[in-house]
Structures are given as C-alpha cells and as structure tokens.
Amino acid sequence: MTGLRIVFMGTPEFACPTLQTLIDRGENVVAVVTQPDRPKGRGQQMQPPPVKELAQKHNIPVMQPLKVRVAEAVEEIRSYEPDLIVVVAFGQILPKALLDIPKHGCINVHASLLPRYRGAAPLNWCIINGESETGVTTMLMDVGLDTGDMLLKKTTPIAPDEDAQSLHDRLSQIGAQALAETLELLAAGSLVPEKQDDNLTCYAPMLKKELGCIDWNDPPAKIKNLVRGVTPWPGAYTYLDGKLLKIFRVRTADGTGTPGSVLQADKSGIEIACSGGSILVDELQLEGKKRLPAAEFLAGCRLSPGMTLGTRGSAVEG
C-alpha cells in the first residue's frame, strides 16, 4: 500500500484485474473514470462497462464523462485531489490539463513491449504480424499516443496457436502485476523513466470488421496469424454460397491448389488451398448456424472438394 490518492481510469474487462489489484492492496482509490454505458446485444439494452461494475461493487465513486477532455470533466477529476492517476484501456485521449493534475503523473498499463505497437490494438496486431513474444509496459503518460517514458516491462511468449482472447486474458493479469511492481518502485523512489526510441515503433490501429476477411492468396502462416489475431473480434471470415462463413481455429498444411478451393472435406478436417500451401480448418460457423468443430459442421452442411470460397456469392462447384 502506497497511501497515495489514486484515480483509476479504465473501461473494458482488460482493465479489471489492475483495478482489483489496487483494491486488494488497500490502495486509496478515490474515484473511477470510465466510458458511458452502451447498448449491447440483440435487445440493445444499456450495459455498464466492466470497470464500472467492479467499482460499484466496492463502493468507489464512478464518473462517466462522454468526453474526458471537456473542462467540467477535468475539474471534477481535479476535485478528487489525486496523487496519481492509473490508466488501463480507458478509450479516450487524455488532455494535458488532466495529465498535469497528479503530482506523480499518470501511469498507463500498455499491452505491448514499447516502443513497439503503439495504438489501440497492440495485443491483436502482434499476433497478426506473427510475433513470438509480447508483454506489458507501464509508462508515464504524455500528450502523445503511447509515447511517454517507459517505467517497467514484463515479457511473455506467444504460443503458436494462441489467439487474441487467450493472450488478452494473460496480459490483463500480467498488467496488474506490472502496475503493482511499478507502485512499489514509486513508493521506494526507485522508478527510472526511460525514453522511447521512436525509430523502433510501429502502429497498432483500431480493429475494423473488414480486417477479418481472409485473402486466400496469402500464405498459410499469414492466414493462421490473422485468424488468431482477430479471434474473438472482429473475427476471421470468408463466404460459402453467398453466406458468411466464420473461421475460428486453423492449422497450416502443405496442400496445393487454386487459392480458396476446397481440397478436402471429411472427418479428418476441412482443407482449403492458399498461396504456397493450405489451411486446415478445425472450427467454423456458417451464417445463422452454431459454431461447430469441422466434423460436426460437415454433418449438416455440404462442402466438397472443388468448391471455392471467397467473396460473397463466389462459392461454386469446381
């Protein structure tokens, strides 16, 4: 426990382990700032962010400004007189007026090994790009996009078949540990900020739905990495007889054929040709149907060698 007055800023499930760690440590979390409630699901019912639910469970005051940069929001945060602001996946850019409030600054828990993968979706892009290692960096925030001085790093390998959901869950826990260690160093006066080398950075932009569309002209490893990196959202997909076909788990293989053509479809799996090899699909879901293992999928859906997958309406008999 540091004895500092802390304002916590975060929104999704990823931020919850760090907030819970602050609570478990007995830190003085004087307020939580999160995004507004949003409509969700088929019924479009208003749902609170996970961080809000956790804060309310522990009777911590919650702010939900539509825009945190407006003067009213900045002044309300100032009224809590924070010594430190902790930021984890909050979802809005913080203005300088807010960054300047706490005497110990604003510490961000970022899901990459900075200076690599600055931006909104570092976790996904490191998988999409085929990285074998990633981690979490705590940093002292400035007005740039993930450009502040680095404080502490924790690394972890990325398993060859790990998808973004699994990595998300692991990094959320690693991030909580990193923040706890950072606070210990802060309390001991031992933090040594390190400047980032801008020449080593790459950008990890926000994910868009169309990113998940599989290009069968890509090589097997690239397609597998895409599937892993966009699972569970936005999800990898192609088309079968004009219907959306979601792809969840795949393996690489060395089959040959026209990219997008079905090479094999039986109990041993569904094999689809791509550039320089093939992809074995282990789990998939046709539009309007359930997510199924390949063998169960084939029991209810005709998919045979010679068919071609691709853009909407292009799956035909060869």
DSSP string for 82-147: -SEEEEES--SPPPHHHHTSSTT-EEEEESS-TTSSBSS-HHHHHHHTT-SEEEEEEEE--SSSS-
pLDDT of residue 316: 37
Q: Residues 6 or more apart from 85 whose CB is under 8 A from it?
A: 6, 7, 8, 9, 77, 98, 101, 102, 105, 106, 107
88 shares its domain with 234: no
pLDDT tens-digit map of 18-76: 999 999 999 999 999 999 999 988 788 999 999 999 999 999 999 999 999 999 999 99
225 and 255 belong to one structural domain: yes
Domain containing 248 equals 209-300
* 178 within some domain: yes
308 found inside a domain: no
Q: Is 146 found in the same domain as 118?
A: yes
Residue type, 50: P
The verdict on 165 and 226 lying in the same domain is no
Q: Does 94 share its domain with 217? A: no
Per-residue model confidence (pLDDT) at position 312: 62
Q: Which of 200, 228, 250 corresponds to the end of one domain? A: 200
* pTM, rounded to two decimals: 0.93
Q: Let me know whether 85 and 161 are in one domain.
A: yes
For residue 318, what pLDDT is reported?
Answer: 31
| Alpha-carbon span 80 to 97, nearest angstrom | 15
Instruction: Please choose, from the candidates 29, 17, 193, the residue with its C-alpha nearest in 3D space to the C-alpha of residue 105.
Output: 193
Residue 174 lies in a domain: yes
Pair 177, 289 in one domain: no
Q: With respect to residue 318, please indicate whether it lies within any of the assigned structural domains.
A: no
Same domain, yes or no: 18 and 73: yes
Check which CATH number belongs to the domain holding 93 and give it.
3.40.50.170
pLDDT in tens, the chain (318 residues): 899 999 999 999 999 999 999 999 999 999 999 999 999 887 889 999 999 999 999 999 999 999 999 999 999 999 999 999 999 999 999 999 999 999 999 999 999 999 999 999 999 999 999 999 999 999 999 999 999 999 999 999 999 999 999 999 999 999 999 999 999 999 999 999 999 999 999 999 999 999 999 999 999 999 999 999 999 999 999 999 899 999 999 999 999 999 999 999 988 889 999 999 999 999 999 999 999 999 999 999 989 999 999 866 444 333
Residue whose C-alpha is closest to residue 7's, from 37, 30, 41, 39? 30
In a domain, 313, yes or no: no
User: Is residue 175 located within the same domain as residue 223?
Assistant: no
Residue 262's identity, in one-letter code, is: V
* Within-domain flag for 285: yes
How many separate domains does the chain show? 2
Say whether both 76 and 187 belong to one domain: yes
Q: What is the CATH number of the domain that holds 236?
A: 3.10.25.10
Q: Can you give the pLDDT at residue 40?
A: 85
Residue with tokens 């382990």: 17
154 and 114 Cβ atoms separated by less than 8 Å:
no
